[in-house]
Amino acid sequence: MASLMRPSSTTPAIGTPKPSITPAATAALQASRTGSELLSQIHYAEKYLKEKFPTAITFDALLDYLSLPQDLLAHKATLKKALVANSHVAYTSASESASGRETFSYKPTHPVTNASELKQYLTRQPTAAGIPVKDLRDAWPTLQVPLLRLSAQHEVLLTLNKKDNTPRTVYADSPHLWPPKPIDERFVEFWGKCKVPANETEVRSVLEEAGIVPTSAVKEVRKILGGKKEKRRVQRQGARTTNTHMAGILKQAPHTHSLSNFVTSKAPRFINSTRINQQNSFRMSSSVGELKLESTDIKTATGVELSKEQHTLVASVLDLFAGRPSLAKLQLWTDDAEFHDPITIAQGRKQFEAQWYGLQTAFSAIERKHHEVTSSGNPIEMDMTTLYKVKGLGKETTIESKILIHTKGDKIVKVEDKWDGKMPDSGIANAFRHLNSVTVPKFVSVPKNAEEDAKKGN
């Protein structure tokens, strides 16, 4: 038995397997995981402070709530620095705090928690643009009933969502701006008889009856006399005509000969060019596969209309967020496009493709709860709520996002996924985001062609 054992100094056999992951890659992966976990803890801490608003929480109490794992306890200072730099977290030093301890509290978009604060806050606004109700829910989640009561009392002015008649935007108002007495019935009757044109055709007719030229009127195109006359073709003298039996046809079609020469000399070039374009198109479609969009029912806000190209781009982005990537959908992105969210800054095709295919690896289930396109400009703006279930852990988390789709022609150049409508702006967070975008492509496999894509179920 001893003779069969290999001495410790013996050179390893040729077939000895080598480690598949280098120590450098392992360290990078560990740093990326630590950064992602810290960003997640910052997100959980912010949500906890939002639930406790307006109560201030000490840093120790916040750590007790988060229950950090042992490997993250060494990064408490980094976590604290990130919270201090967070635009939605208010930090109070020990010298300024009444308790003599450092505290953190939630800093809402609009510091309004009741009806009286809302009226005072509206009067202090520099413009009369109004405030979206969804932004007020940040600090006042139960505002709907009080808002309707204030509107009935003419203390505020509301616009409602067309779908469910819920408050959409709130403006400043005052009972003193309303008529003190009931309006005269004669004026009400006169106002009711005033008919507004129902469509553009009626508007055009009313304007024409009033002697006004509508902007939608069809312009008459006048032909300019004295244009270029066609030269008459003179038959060459002395030319021998051999096709005398077709003289009548040739007389009716004097340009047949020149047309046949054109077709004979030029057609092969056009045919070859067409064949080349068809071959290139076939190669491209066969390499990335056919574009199949699943998210065809796109919800839009009132008054928002998408063009055909915008509809295609929005549908493809919805599919990507649903964990349904494909090479054909990602061909709608430019090669130097970018994807930004709170945990990554992916720049270039290699990085952003890995991020989208990584969703299939990280999550066992992705469910889109709500989406609505709120603007069809550039960028296209969309609100979205998504439920993610982490693979292996079964942990569920719901993220409310503000999606910005930047386009150039019919291509996507940048997509921003802002959780709760914002992005991290601290240097530490951005460093982890860049690190994540570099390490993910090392461990996420992106299909090389349509065949590999189909094997992944895409």
Domain residue limits, the chain: 26-106, 115-177, 308-455
Give yes or no for a contact between 420 and 426, defined as CB atoms under 8 angstroms apart: no
Where is mean pLDDT largest: 4-18, 21-35, 347-361?
Answer: 347-361
Residue 397 phi, psi (nearest 5): -145, 140
CATH code of the region 26-106: 1.10.10
- Distance CA(141)–CA(137), nearest Å, equals 4
Dihedral, CA atoms, 141, 145, 150, 153, nearest 10 degrees? 180
- Distance CA(407)–CA(352), nearest Å, equals 16
Question: Across the chain, what does the average pLDDT equal?
Answer: 79
Give yes or no for a contact between 259 and 420, defined as CB atoms under 8 angstroms apart: no
Residue by residue, DSSP assigns 117-179 as HHHHHHHT-SSS--EEHHHHTTT-TT-HHHHHHHHHTTSEEEEE-TTT--EEEEEE--GGGS-
How distant, in Å, are the alpha carbons of 141, 160, 271, 399 from that of 138?
A: 6, 19, 63, 15
Pick the CATH number of 308-455 from 3.10.450.50, 3.40.50.1370, 3.20.20.370, 1.10.490.10: 3.10.450.50
How distant, in Å, are the alpha carbons of 30, 170, 329, 410, 457 from that of 290?
A: 38, 46, 9, 17, 14
Q: Give the range among 13-17, 72-76, 348-352, 363-367 with minimum mean pLDDT.
A: 13-17
Question: pLDDT at position 30, please?
Answer: 52
How distant, in Å, are the alpha carbons of 34, 52, 437 from that of 28?
A: 10, 36, 11
- pTM (two decimals): 0.40
What is the per-residue pLDDT across 76-126, written as a single tens digit (0 to 9) for each? 888 888 888 888 898 988 888 888 889 998 888 898 989 999 999 999 988
Give yes or no for a contact between 344 and 338, defined as CB atoms under 8 angstroms apart: no
Overall average pLDDT of the 331-350 stretch: 91
Overall average pLDDT of the 180-196 stretch: 83
Bigger pLDDT: 369 or 438? Answer: 369
Q: Residue 412 carries which DSSP code? A: E
Give yes or no for a contact between 121 and 65, defined as CB atoms under 8 angstroms apart: no
What is the per-residue pLDDT across 287-311, written as a single tens digit (0 to 9) for each? 778 888 988 899 999 999 999 999 9
